[in-house]
């Protein structure tokens, strides 16, 4: 499509008068690597104050521009001074950095607003399956199961008690040495361990840990997915056991995905340093920004945008060229669904950012527009029609 046509579509989007078909085309255009240079020029053109003529256009351009600025700050480790591209030279000076943010500040933003403001199709009008919530159980070593209060969101473990973060004591009668926090499909929960380590537990996951770390190591066992914010104790390493690998740290933040049905273990390091060990491969020392994929026995390491893999704990689905099957795995766990994975095309990649507090109808409607697919829905059973 000619550059002038793309400019017109972009302007129509900012004014809020773009059609669904035009928006889908514009979104696809913004995801193509070969259009990066042209898109840089488009941003510079539309975000210069001299070329923003109408009040509604100026308002939306400012929103997108601010999102771009926030993303650049995060990428470059900058702090805001309140001068958000007031000079044209400033914007040109960071055009290269903006190229790294196009999915975040344009495509992601476009579809975030699109999915949030558009109503679901009539096919999904009665599909009001709510999103997951804070739900979990705590199972003690003697087999007693406690249903946790979802409104409390987090439990805190110390040597004297098991309590909610607000101070309410969980009525555990016996002396307990080992407990397991379990989340069902459609559930999540947080826990602060006795050493001060905080853990966010995703849906359909479990974390086993002692009420007090008394040995030379601090050891926990994970099934599913969790984000760890490990408290540093130099003399007592923190070890996370998963079915296929062990992770040893002192103080750091990282995400582990080891769902059995996905057949792989993915470790994403946010800060600090961790050491990975598997039964068959060589140990691996990771650096911040790296992701290690353990498939069978070997680790495959790559630099990634860690926010894509930790967004769930902050209430977002974030996908960038994510295979549709992986997207559906996340939806299946969060909305407690039964998805038929037979015949799902492997070449469909999803680019989107959608809040996890949306009803299922909104999310499916968004995915249909992004992936050019249809969903056949029967209660909680879903089948993909390509």
- My answer on whether 38 and 112 are in the same domain is yes
Integer-rounded Cα radius of gyration of the chain: 23
- Reduced to 3 states (helix: H, G, I; strand: E, B; else coil), residue 354 is strand
CA–CA gap between residue 276 and residue 287 (Å, rounded): 11
Please report the beta strands in 95-201, taking only residues with DSSP state E, as ranges in sequence order.
133-134, 137-140, 145-147, 154-157, 162-164, 178-183, 187-192, 198-201
CA–CA gap between residue 351 and residue 349 (Å, rounded): 7
- My answer on whether 49 and 166 are in the same domain is no
Model-level pTM?
Answer: 0.71
| Segment 280-296, tens digit of pLDDT | 778 899 999 999 999 77
Give the alpha-carbon dihedral of 84, 88, 92, 94, to 10 degrees: -10
Residue for token pair 């295979």 = 323
Predicted local distance difference test score (pLDDT) of residue 39: 64
- Total domains present in the chain: 2
CB-based burial label for 146 (10 Å; 0-12, 13-18, 19+): middle
Structure tokens at 384: 């993909």
Tell me which of 64, 88, 118 is where a domain ends: 118
Predicted local distance difference test score (pLDDT) of residue 127: 65
CA–CA gap between residue 84 and residue 61 (Å, rounded): 12
- My answer on whether 89 and 237 are in the same domain is no
CB-based burial label for 289 (10 Å; 0-12, 13-18, 19+): middle
Predicted local distance difference test score (pLDDT) of residue 104: 35
- My answer on whether 290 and 377 are in the same domain is yes
Q: Write the CATH number for 337.
A: 2.60.120.1440
Which among 64, 57, 118 has a CA at the least distance from the CA of 91?
64
CA–CA gap between residue 103 and residue 350 (Å, rounded): 12
Confidence band of 302 (pLDDT split at 50, 70, 90)? very high
Tell me which of 100, 118, 136 is where a domain ends: 118
- My answer on whether 94 and 235 are in the same domain is no
| Segment 336-379, tens digit of pLDDT | 999 999 988 888 888 777 889 888 988 888 888 777 788 988 88
- Residue 347: domain span: 127-386
Could you tell me the CA-to-CA distances from 68 to 130, 225, 246, 282 in Å, in that order?
31, 30, 38, 40
Compare 242 and 157 and report the one with higher pLDDT.
242
* 229 touches 270 (CB < 8 A): no
- My answer on whether 107 and 132 are in the same domain is no
Tell me which of 118, 146, 165 is where a domain ends: 118
- My answer on whether 100 and 150 are in the same domain is no
pLDDT of 110 > 50? The answer is no
- My answer on whether 54 and 85 are in the same domain is yes
* 334 touches 203 (CB < 8 A): yes
Predicted local distance difference test score (pLDDT) of residue 285: 93
pLDDT of 163 > 50? The answer is yes
Could you tell me the CA-to-CA distances from 83 to 42, 49, 63, 87, 316 in Å, in that order?
21, 14, 14, 9, 28
Predicted local distance difference test score (pLDDT) of residue 372: 78
- My answer on whether 320 and 299 are in the same domain is yes
CA–CA gap between residue 179 and residue 222 (Å, rounded): 12
- My answer on whether 314 and 345 are in the same domain is yes
Which among 323, 310, 319 has a CA at the least distance from the CA of 352?
319
Compare 298 and 240 and report the one with higher pLDDT.
240
Could you tell me the CA-to-CA distances from 240 to 18, 226, 227, 244 in Å, in that order?
49, 11, 11, 11
- My answer on whether 288 and 342 are in the same domain is yes
- My answer on whether 113 and 140 are in the same domain is no
| Segment 250-279, tens digit of pLDDT | 789 999 999 998 889 999 999 999 999 988
Which among 133, 67, 116 has a CA at the least distance from the CA of 315?
133
């Amino acid at each position: 499509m000619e550059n002038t046509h793309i400019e017109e579509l972009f302007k129509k989007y900012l004014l809020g008068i773009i059609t669904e078909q035009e928006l889908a085309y514009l979104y696809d255009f913004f995801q193509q690597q070969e259009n990066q240079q042209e898109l840089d020029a488009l941003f510079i053109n539309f975000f210069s104050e001299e070329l923003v003529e109408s009040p509604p256009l100026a308002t939306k351009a400012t929103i997108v521009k601010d999102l771009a600025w926030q993303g650049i700050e995060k990428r470059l480790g900058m702090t805001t001074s309140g001068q958000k591209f007031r000079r044209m030279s400033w914007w040109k000076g960071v055009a290269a950095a903006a190229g790294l943010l196009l999915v975040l500040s344009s495509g992601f933003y476009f579809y975030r607003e699109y999915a949030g403001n558009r109503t679901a199709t009539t096919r999904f009008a009665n599909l009001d399956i709510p999103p997951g919530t804070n739900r979990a159980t705590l199972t003690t070593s003697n087999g007693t199961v406690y249903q946790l209060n979802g409104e409390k969101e987090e439990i805190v473990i110390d040597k004297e008690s098991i309590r909610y973060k607000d101070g309410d004591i969980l009525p555990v009668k016996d002396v307990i040495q080992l407990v397991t926090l379990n989340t069902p499909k459609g559930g999540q929960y947080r826990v602060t361990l006795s050493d001060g380590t905080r853990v966010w537990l995703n849906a359909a996951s479990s974390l086993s840990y002692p009420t007090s770390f008394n040995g030379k190591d601090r050891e926990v066992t994970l099934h599913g997915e969790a984000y760890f914010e490990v408290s540093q104790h130099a003399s007592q390493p923190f070890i996370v056991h998963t079915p296929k690998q062990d992770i040893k740290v002192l103080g750091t933040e990282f995400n582990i995905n080891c769902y059995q049905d996905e057949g792989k273990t993915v470790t994403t390091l946010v800060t600090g340093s961790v050491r990975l060990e598997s039964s068959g491969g060589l140990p691996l020392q990771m650096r911040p920004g790296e992701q290690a994929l353990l498939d069978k026995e070997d680790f495959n390491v790559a630099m990634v945008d860690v926010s894509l893999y930790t967004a769930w704990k902050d209430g977002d689905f974030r996908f960038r060229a994510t295979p549709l099957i992986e997207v559906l795995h996340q939806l299946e766990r969060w909305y407690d669904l039964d998805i038929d994975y037979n015949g799902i095309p492997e070449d469909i990649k999803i680019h989107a950012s959608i809040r996890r507090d949306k009803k299922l109808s909104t999310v499916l409607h968004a995915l249909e527009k992004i992936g050019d697919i249809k969903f056949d829905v029967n209660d909680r059973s879903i089948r993909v029609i390509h």
